[in-house]
Amino acid sequence: MAAATSPAAARRPSSSPVPSLCPSKASPSSLPFPLRPCPNQLLLRSHRLHRVSSSASFAAASSFADLPYPSSEDVFAFDDKPREECGVFAIVGDPEAAQMCYLGLHALQHRGQEGAGIVSSDGASLHSCTGLGLVSELFSQASKLEPLVGSAAIGHNRYSTAGAASALANVQPFVASYRFGQLAVAHNGNLVNYHSLRYELESRGSIFSTTSDTEVILHLIATSTTRPLLARIIEACESLEGAYSLVLLTADKLFAVRDPHGFRPLVMGRRPNGAIVFASETCALDLISAEYVREVNPGEVVVVDSHDMSINTSCLLPKKPRKGCVFEHVYFALPNSVVFGHPVHASRYNFGAALARESPAPGADIVIPVPDSGFFAALGFAEASGLPFRQGLIRSHYVGRSFIEPNQEERNLAVKLKLAPIYGILEGKSVVVIDDSIVRGTTSSKIVQLIKNTGKAREVHMRIASPPIISSCYYGVDTPRAEELISNRLDVEGVRRAIGSDSLAFLSLESLRAAFGKEGHMFCDACFTCRYPVPPRKHDAVNAVEE
């Protein structure tokens, strides 16, 4: 067990050299799994930045204490976690399609909070309502849903850090008119060949009205020379590279498409009235009493005709290895969802139990989760280690964007506004703290300080229910630049010193995969390994390693 580290000692040394961009620079023996060399992760394209702190301000800070004072935006986004960028929902054959879509988007709110939209079809034309904000805010008045008539609808929740001026134009679903009618699309994922596709389309005369990669899909469908629409969609999708779970709506048909690797989830369900539903997660099916039918398979195109409710499926070519995003199980998806055929709560429990077997904390008194995402992993750790599970931190769910920044000097305010220690549980105890992941390390360091200084815990042993994050995601998850990821720059002991815990351990990659049994190899884990199933293209990254 490592010696206790004071908060001051926990700070990143101001004399540290320019952070290495390469995980192979970390001591290989200190990492829980061998890394394939990833010689240079310098990004050519400005990857979308978190609101927590800009890369420039991070680089300028000589210690965590020097990081900028938290703004109201920081408080809202204090979690220092990768951000899911979208959730999609679709329904056909329901007289209250828009209302069901509203409920479905509400259930998927965790996948994107910056904007939402619904497009409905009355069998002849499409009707759209999109806006910025939470689903419940946008559609707080029933009058907003009234114009969305018809028995079919698609919806979208958006997360993005794009500027406010452009944000509204980028809120989906997008609706376009082409020579055979209207078409709406909602997209979860990210296209790694977006820039080259857009360049080609613009070279041929296409004019874009958004900065979203989703718009190229509409252009590719509109400019295709094949018929019918299903063939156009297939031709368009076969030129896409990267992650896409799509729902598309015309006056009389609903399409659901998943990329050949199946990076992002998409499930199909059926309501008791026979309506067919598609959603990013099964939690959206549960809310509207829809029965889970199956996943939309990777590379599958499902078409539902709204006239006779017939269902047909086609396949995209070529077939590729299944690579569902493992981070859906680590953090993004709700624990009551089933993602890629596996219950999320069970995965997290198994991650925690495996972590307890791999990296126990001898002498610890209690196990506590970092709420809410560490809950099930902490349960697994506690039961596997025989230690009592306690709720030592309480999370406030009422801190939002409207918080007014105070003027007193308080570096840890963002965390203290969200998390409160329970003294009676923590005081004098040796505590195992379970979190799902560490991204920059800024929040982890503040949580350790909170538990030690305010909660008066004797020792804090951090256990992380996933491997160290060393690479950025290019498949629809908003992650910081590689050089901002603390585990890209430091080995495990370096991270422990930086966050100030008495000990630190991450779940091994082998145990992460083993939690899915024989399907362990069917997941993308590039943010832990730098092994990208689809290599990022220029404008995204250089020298990433193709798996």
Q: Which of 174, 327, 349, 403 binds ligand SF4 (CB under 6 A)?
A: 327
- Positive or negative, the Cα torsion across 38, 44, 45, 47? positive
CB 126 within 8 A of CB 119: yes
**Does residue number 527 form part of the binding site for ligand SF4 (CB under 6 A)?**
yes
Which listed range, 126-134, 324-332, 412-420, 535-543, lies at the site for ligand SF4 (CB under 6 A)?
Answer: 324-332
Q: How far is the CB of 465 from ligand SF4 (least distance, A)?
A: 14
Q: How many residues belong to the site for ligand SF4 (CB under 6 A)?
A: 12
Tokens of 438: 């560490």
16 annotated among ligand-binding-site residues? no
Rounded Cα distance, 104 and 157, in Å = 10
The nearer residue to ligand SF4, 303 or 524, going by C-beta atoms, is 524
Nearest approach, Cβ of residue 473 and ligand SF4 (Å)? 3
Judged by beta carbon, residue 263 or residue 403, the one nearer ligand SF4 is 263
Structure tokens at 511: 């145990």
Site track for ligand SF4 across 212-251, x = CB under 6 A: ----------------------------------------
3 state SS for 323-389: CEECHHHHHHCCCCCEECCEEHHHHHHHHHHHHHHHCCCCCCCEEEECCCCCHHHHHHHHHHHCCCE
> What binding mask, one character per residue, do residues 29-68 give for ligand SF4 by CB under 6 A, x or -?
----------------------------------------
Say whether 524 counts as a known binding-site residue.
Answer: yes
For residues 10 and 541, which CB has a smaller minimum distance to ligand SF4 in the complex?
541
What amino acid positions are annotated as catalytic residues? Answer: 86
The answer to whether residue 184 forms part of the interface with ligand SF4 (CB under 6 A) is: no
Q: 322 vs 496, which CB is nearer to ligand SF4? A: 322
Q: What are phi and psi of 88, to 5 degrees?
A: -125, 155
485 contributes a contact to ligand SF4 by CB under 6 A: no
8 Å CB contact between 153 and 100: yes
Q: How many helices (H) and strands (E) does the chain have?
A: 21, 27
Query: Cβ atoms within 10 A of the Cβ of 499, count?
Result: 25
Ordered DSSP codes for 483-517: GG-HHHHS-HHHHHHHHT-SEEEE--HHHHHHTTG
Residues 486-525 binding ligand SF4 (CB under 6 A) are 524-525
Q: Is 326 in the site for ligand SF4 (CB under 6 A)?
A: yes
- Give me Rg for the CA atoms of the chain: 23
Residue with tokens 């969802």: 337
CB nearer to ligand SF4: pick between 115 and 242: 242
In the complex, minimum distance from the CB of residue 314 to ligand SF4, in angstroms, rounded to a whole number = 25
Nearer to ligand SF4, 119 or 266 (CB): 266
101 is in an annotated binding site: no
Residue 325 marked in a binding site: yes
- Least Cβ distance, residue 545 to ligand SF4 (angstroms): 12
Question: Judged by CB under 6 A, which of 301, 464, 526, 530 binds ligand SF4?
Answer: 526
Q: Residue 326 or residue 356: which is nearer to ligand SF4 going by CB?
A: 326
- Provide the minimum distance between the beta carbon of 282 and ligand SF4 in the complex, in angstroms, as a whole number: 18
Considering beta carbons, is residue 303 or 485 the nearer one to ligand SF4? 485
Residue 90 host element (H or E): strand 86-92
- Of 34-42, 325-333, 334-342, 356-364, the window that binds ligand SF4 (rule: CB under 6 A) is 325-333
Contact between 434 and ligand SF4 per CB under 6 A: no
The Cα 463–Cα 437 span in angstroms is: 9
Among 325, 415, 439, 492, binds ligand SF4 (CB under 6 A): 325
Residues between 452 and 481 with contacts to ligand SF4, criterion CB under 6 A: 473, 475, 477
Binding mask 283-322 for ligand SF4 (x = CB under 6 A): ----------------------------------------
Residue 539: DSSP 8-state: T
For 273, residues 6+ apart whose C-beta sits below 8 A from its C-beta are 93, 94
Annotated binding residue at 435? Answer: yes
Nearest approach in angstroms of CB 476 to ligand SF4 is: 7
Smallest distance, ligand SF4 to C-beta of residue 224, A: 28
Q: For 174-189, give the secondary structure using H, E and C.
A: EEEEECCEEEEEEEEE
541 near ligand SF4, judged by CB under 6 A: no
Residue 186 and residue 165: Cα distance in Å, rounded?
21
Distance CA 248, CA 263 (A): 18
The answer to whether residue 105 forms part of the interface with ligand SF4 (CB under 6 A) is: no
CA distance 254 to 85: 22
Report whether 431 contacts 385 (CB < 8 A).
Answer: no
SS3 86: strand
- Whether 114 and 143 have beta carbons less than 8 Å apart is answered as no
Q: Which residues of 151-184 are buried (b: 16+ CB within 10 A; e: fewer)?
A: bbbbbbbbbbbbeeeebeebbbbbbbeeeeebbb
- Closer of 323 and 452 to ligand SF4 (Cβ): 323
Binding-site residues from annotation for Mg(2+): 373, 435-436
User: For binding to ligand SF4 (CB under 6 A), which residues are involved?
Assistant: 82, 263, 325-327, 473, 475, 477, 524-527
Binding-site residues from annotation: 325, 373, 435-436, 473, 524, 527
